[in-house]
Chain A
Amino acid sequence: MDIPYVVQPREDTGLFNAKVGIWLFLASEVMLFGALFSSYILLRVGSINWLYGEAKDLNVWLGTANTAVLITSSITMVMAWASLKLNEFGKFKAYMGATILLGLVFMVIKAFEYNAKFHHGHFPAAHTFYAIYFTLTGLHALHVLGGMVVNSFYWGPGSKMWKTDPVRFTNRVEIGGLFWHFVDLVWIFLFPVLYLL
């Protein structure tokens, strides 16, 4: 007996297996980042010398640019999936390629920001604000990296599945997309919390 509902949705739930799986995984991710955001709040309200505004020495413009980059990449990700639904594999390649490149742009900007912090002596050990800043953005960057690896697989060797099992491949891209949007969403919370508040 083969495992059912790998590709086609089960009637009473309306979902295929991997979609249930990814939503559960994202629920646990919410708890992971939720715990870290809660820690941020507790540390901030308990601190007598928290850093505010200019004192944080963060570049709001670079942060804003990165927010725009990630939101754009979420759009191209949806377009990549939609292209597969419309049976246009060429467009999928273009949009998925753009998603990966935008992820790369995000990481490069982040690297410049990190570098500037280190130059100014803002190491994690220097102040609890920088400690939580590096922990949160670092963990987020790891997630971006993970998403890029998966997307590159879909763009490159994984796309062979389009010829053998197009429905399953489209499902896979959808799953990857859900993760990518989640990573985007985390940044949309991170940016105001760390840069603006």
Chain B
Amino acid sequence: MQPTTEETQQHAAHGAHHEELGFWRKYIFSTDHKVIGIQYGLTGLLFLFFGFCLMMLMRWQIAYPGKPMPVVGEFLQKLLGDEMVNKGVMLPDLYNAFGAMHGTIMVFLAIVPVAFAAFGNFVVPLQIGAPDMAFPRVNMASYQAYFLGGVVMFFSFFIPGGAAKSGWTSYSPLATLADMGHHPNGQTFWILGMVLLITSSLLGAVNFIATIIQLRAKGMTWMRLPFFVWAQFVTAFLLLLAFPPLEAAAILQLMDNVAGTSFFLPTGLAAPGTTTPLPISGGGSPLLWQHLFWFLGHPEVYVLILPAMGIVCEIIANNTRKPIWGYKSLVYSVLCIGFLSFIVWAHHMYLTGMGTKIATFFQTTTMIISIPSVIILTCFFISLWGGSIRFTVPMLFALAFLPMFGIGGLTGLPLGFNFTDLHLHDTYYVIAHFHYVVAPGTIFGLFAGIYYWYPKATGRLMNEFWGKVHFWTSLIFMNLIFQPMFAQGMAGLGRRMYDGGVTYAGADDPAAGLVGVPQWVFGMNRHISWAAWMLGLAQIPFIINFFLSMKKGQKVTSDNPWGATTLEWQTPTPPPHGNFDRPIEVHRGPYEYSVPGHDGDFTPQTEPEQR
């Protein structure tokens, strides 16, 4: 049938309005929140894999100390030089650099960008019924600053002296003394990289909060916001207010490293390997760095976990086909966590000699903050009760999140009490604790989110069978890695040890009352390493599934394949620039599943009240 003149004119007008953007404007320098979200997601996942690779290499040195690394040893030696790798053996400097950069990359370049920036950018404007973020160009600048920060961090591996070596916490004076022979050194690059990343998160946080305050669709009142939006809202405030003190600390440490000041360098500090005092003015305070660092560091923990809780909440509501139990409790709990997370930071510092009275204060606040966390987890568990649960891949990951985060959270209590922390501090127990929160906790939440929103972004579903393979193998190996670490830590194995603690194996001396690390701990080192490499293999189905499903995945037949209530499923698939093809008005809360008297088992938020 020939189009009528009117139709042709309409098409022409339509075309003129939505002019096609070129490749660069559309995919690289895009101001569209969805494209920026995907940019953040892909870059973040790349860094996630890169950070994991660093750890897989370190696990070789821990399991088989002093043995040449198979396959990659010689290549790394050519790439990074003889100072870092000798005859295929990872040297202490490289081990320290990998350790510091594993933490830095995982926290600042992988988890936060994916959990906050990627999911937040893609989902939040859709869920509140907004056409875009409040400041699209600021949004683009945020991604670019993040990308540059990532480039600076990555290239620091290849400068003379290698990347930063003083842990992700970069404690002074170690951070200033670690590599004094090189200028600029890895630590300087680390600081510059961090300043870029902080800038990025500042721009992102301002944008998120402004968007959520200003751009909610008509009828989208605060108590109708999906919990995911609340989680992102609080996360944005944490980033906004907690990161600047680290920026201040970074500026001060930069002055120490470059301008020769002594902000964190005490009087009488000796040069490395000597007893001669350094020619510095002195009078600085190493504790000051730790306070400034952990003032960011602890809220940052909640930056890592809250978005994952938000994702899990959406998926649980959707797959139990009933309302989330205790929506208001969830909202108030997340607000409490946001506030309390600013006054718990020094529980990382019980062993610094800051004083027992201060330790008692922070021990108390730390115990208090566990209450809202438990409320959130309990609400999720009760939500499962009596639901007709659909065990889809996203739901499997969301369900696994609950016990995994539970283990991570409960094992944190002995670390929060200062007297039990004396024994456990700086051991593998700590590593196991926070990895249970972040790895099988947050990362499972992120996987759940990827499997859940993938059809909205691409119009195709990811393969279910390979998704389940990915889930079960990841779940098993995650636990095989981190569960034994609790035992290792309680047996006294310190973290950050280059040879996996072997130095301390033969220290048994009953006469002197000395007990060395028992032998079974080193056997566990090898088991854990093998589990870590298997976990690496277990990600292959995911990687292939992720890319192959874009072209070959099963096409979705509706814009709302999961039968969900929230607004992001009311858009065309994938959502065009501007998101909604009709004005949005919200009439009800976010989780109206199986409401008695309604048709079907879900009622979208846009559905008007029936009279």
Please determine whether B579 and A1 come into contact, CB atoms closer than 8 angstroms. Answer: yes
In the complex, the chain B residue whose C-beta lies closest to that of A42 is: B288
Per-residue CB contact flags for chain B residues 248-265 toward chain A (1 = under 8 Å, else 0) read 110110010001111100
At the interface, yes or no: A124 with Cβ under 8 Å from chain B?
yes
Please determine whether B248 and A4 come into contact, CB atoms closer than 8 angstroms. Answer: no
At the interface, yes or no: B207 with Cβ under 8 Å from chain A?
yes
At the interface, yes or no: B326 with Cβ under 8 Å from chain A?
no
Please determine whether A3 and B251 come into contact, CB atoms closer than 8 angstroms. Answer: no
Please determine whether B209 and A24 come into contact, CB atoms closer than 8 angstroms. Answer: yes
Given contacts A28-B240, A28-B244, contact A13 B262 (CB under 8 A): no
Please determine whether B209 and A20 come into contact, CB atoms closer than 8 angstroms. Answer: yes
Selecting from B43-51, B131-139, B164-172, B463-471, the interface stretch reads: B131-139
Please determine whether A17 and B285 come into contact, CB atoms closer than 8 angstroms. Answer: no
Given contacts A21-B210, A128-B262, contact A43 B136 (CB under 8 A): no
Smallest CB separation, B429 vs chain A (Å): 31
At the interface, yes or no: A197 with Cβ under 8 Å from chain B?
no
Please determine whether B215 and A4 come into contact, CB atoms closer than 8 angstroms. Answer: yes
**CB-CB contacts below 8 Å: B229-280 with A:** 240-245, 247-249, 251-252, 255, 259-263, 267, 280
At the interface, yes or no: A64 with Cβ under 8 Å from chain B?
no
**CA–CA, A134 to B288, complex, Å?**
18
Q: Which residues of B contact A87 (CB under 8 A)?
A: none
**CA–CA, A128 to B494, complex, Å?**
35
At the interface, yes or no: A35 with Cβ under 8 Å from chain B?
yes
Please determine whether B202 and A28 come into contact, CB atoms closer than 8 angstroms. Answer: yes
At the interface, yes or no: A29 with Cβ under 8 Å from chain B?
yes
Selecting from A45-53, A108-116, A144-152, A184-192, the interface stretch reads: A45-53
Per-residue CB contact flags for chain A residues 96-107 toward chain B (1 = under 8 Å, else 0) read 000000000000
Most chain B CB atoms below 10 A, which of A15, A33, A34, A125: A125
Partner of B215, one of A3, A31, A135: A3
Q: Is the interface of B mostly helix, strand, loop or mixed?
A: helix
Smallest CB separation, A4 vs chain B (Å): 7
Smallest CB separation, B416 vs chain A (Å): 24
Please determine whether B131 and A2 come into contact, CB atoms closer than 8 angstroms. Answer: yes
Please determine whether B280 and A10 come into contact, CB atoms closer than 8 angstroms. Answer: no
Smallest CB separation, B578 vs chain A (Å): 4
Please determine whether B202 and A25 come into contact, CB atoms closer than 8 angstroms. Answer: yes
At the interface, yes or no: B283 with Cβ under 8 Å from chain A?
yes
Please determine whether A24 and B205 come into contact, CB atoms closer than 8 angstroms. Answer: yes
Smallest CB separation, A59 vs chain B (Å): 22
**CA–CA, A187 to B150, complex, Å?**
34
At the interface, yes or no: A126 with Cβ under 8 Å from chain B?
yes
At the interface, yes or no: B281 with Cβ under 8 Å from chain A?
yes
At the interface, yes or no: B530 with Cβ under 8 Å from chain A?
no
At the interface, yes or no: A36 with Cβ under 8 Å from chain B?
yes
Given contacts A2-B131, A28-B243, A125-B261, contact A47 B288 (CB under 8 A): no
Please determine whether B214 and A17 come into contact, CB atoms closer than 8 angstroms. Answer: yes
Q: Which residues of B contact A43 (CB under 8 A)?
A: 263, 283-285, 288
At the interface, yes or no: A118 with Cβ under 8 Å from chain B?
no
**CA–CA, A48 to B244, complex, Å?**
29
**CB-CB contacts below 8 Å: B576-591 with A:** 578-580, 583
Smallest CB separation, B529 vs chain A (Å): 40
Q: Which residues of A contact B580 (CB under 8 A)?
A: 1
**CA–CA, A128 to B284, complex, Å?**
7
In the complex, the chain B residue whose C-beta lies closest to that of A16 is: B214
Given contacts A24-B209, A31-B241, contact A124 B247 (CB under 8 A): no
At the interface, yes or no: B152 with Cβ under 8 Å from chain A?
no
Q: Which residues of B contact A160 (CB under 8 A)?
A: none
**CA–CA, A127 to B261, complex, Å?**
8
**CA–CA, A132 to B136, complex, Å?**
37
At the interface, yes or no: B38 with Cβ under 8 Å from chain A?
no
**CA–CA, A124 to B261, complex, Å?**
6
Per-residue CB contact flags for chain B residues 189-206 toward chain A (1 = under 8 Å, else 0) read 000000000000010011
At the interface, yes or no: A161 with Cβ under 8 Å from chain B?
no
**CA–CA, A29 to B207, complex, Å?**
15
In the complex, the chain B residue whose C-beta lies closest to that of A22 is: B206
At the interface, yes or no: B295 with Cβ under 8 Å from chain A?
yes
Partner of A21, one of B135, B244, B292, B583: B135
Smallest CB separation, A15 vs chain B (Å): 7
Most chain A CB atoms below 10 A, which of B136, B213, B242: B213
Partner of A24, one of B210, B263, B288, B583: B210
Please determine whether A128 and B283 come into contact, CB atoms closer than 8 angstroms. Answer: yes
Given contacts A4-B215, A24-B205, A49-B283, contact A125 B263 (CB under 8 A): no
Partner of A128, one of B214, B243, B261: B261
**CA–CA, A32 to B7, complex, Å?**
57
At the interface, yes or no: A5 with Cβ under 8 Å from chain B?
yes
Please determine whether B285 and A42 come into contact, CB atoms closer than 8 angstroms. Answer: yes
**CA–CA, A47 to B249, complex, Å?**
18
Q: Which residues of B contact A32 (CB under 8 A)?
A: 244-245, 247-248
**CA–CA, A5 to B130, complex, Å?**
11
Q: Which residues of A contact B130 (CB under 8 A)?
A: 3
Q: Which residues of B contact A15 (CB under 8 A)?
A: 214
In the complex, the chain A residue whose C-beta lies closest to that of B203 is: A25
Smallest CB separation, B210 vs chain A (Å): 4
Q: Which residues of B contact A75 (CB under 8 A)?
A: none
Q: Which residues of A contact B209 (CB under 8 A)?
A: 20, 24
Please determine whether B240 and A27 come into contact, CB atoms closer than 8 angstroms. Answer: yes
At the interface, yes or no: A139 with Cβ under 8 Å from chain B?
yes
Q: Which residues of B contact A24 (CB under 8 A)?
A: 205-206, 209-210, 240
Please determine whether A3 and B132 come into contact, CB atoms closer than 8 angstroms. Answer: yes
Most chain A CB atoms below 10 A, which of B131, B134, B243, B249: B134
Most chain B CB atoms below 10 A, which of A18, A31, A33: A31
Please determine whether A29 and B244 come into contact, CB atoms closer than 8 angstroms. Answer: yes
Please determine whether A31 and B244 come into contact, CB atoms closer than 8 angstroms. Answer: yes
Please determine whether B243 and A131 come into contact, CB atoms closer than 8 angstroms. Answer: no
Please determine whether A47 and B283 come into contact, CB atoms closer than 8 angstroms. Answer: yes
**CB-CB contacts below 8 Å: A44-88 with B:** 46-49
If A31-B241, A32-B245, A39-B249 are given as contacts, then 7 extra A-B residue pairs at C-beta distance below 8 Å, sorted by A number, are A3-B130, A20-B209, A31-B244, A39-B288, A124-B260, A125-B281, A135-B252
Per CB-CB distance, the 8 closest pairs between chain A and chain B, nearest first, are: A125-B260, A35-B245, A35-B248, A131-B261, A32-B244, A1-B131, A31-B244, A1-B578
Q: List 22 A-B contacts (CB under 8 A).
A: A1-B131, A1-B580, A2-B578, A4-B131, A5-B134, A13-B213, A13-B214, A15-B214, A21-B135, A27-B240, A31-B245, A32-B244, A42-B285, A43-B284, A47-B283, A125-B262, A127-B283, A128-B261, A128-B282, A131-B259, A131-B262, A134-B259
